[in-house]
Amino acid sequence: MRKQEPMKVDTRLGLRLRQLRKERHMTHQELADAVRVSRPLIGFWERSSCQPTAAAVERIAAALGVKPGELFDYEAVPGTVEAAG
């Protein structure tokens, strides 16, 4: 049986962003307004089509009520190799 490879950092960041947004019952538009970006950009970040800048990470964290480092808490993302242990 082949061992599953860990996900790339950008993929995991996108999954964590989506998870936190949904836990807070926020729409893409609500998060976009709070972060001061366009609604489609939130979707791009969640799908890992592009990555947020460091400044955007700080605004995202503030909007979601977490510390910036919590956006990189991969163990919390269901379905990831790290979450499975």
pLDDT digits (tens, 9 = 90+) for 59-80: 999 999 999 989 988 666 665 5
Is 69 within the bounds of a domain? yes
Confidence (pLDDT) at 73: 80
- Specify if 8 maps to a domain: no
Specify if 85 maps to a domain.
Answer: no
Q: What is the pTM of this model?
A: 0.80
Instruction: Check residue 23 and give its pLDDT.
Output: 95
* Total domain count, the chain: 1
Q: For residue 49, which of 85, 5, 18 has the smallest C-alpha distance?
A: 18
Q: Look at residue 9 and tell me if it is in a domain.
A: no
Sign of the torsion formed by the C-alpha atoms of 45, 48, 51 and 55: positive
* The pLDDT value given to residue 18: 95
pLDDT tens track for 9-63: 778 889 999 999 999 999 999 999 999 999 999 999 999 999 999 999 999 999 9
CATH number at residue 63: 1.10.260.40
Measure the CA–CA gap between 17 and 2, rounded to whole angstroms: 29
Domain annotation covers residue 22: yes
What range defines the domain where residue 52 resides? 17-76
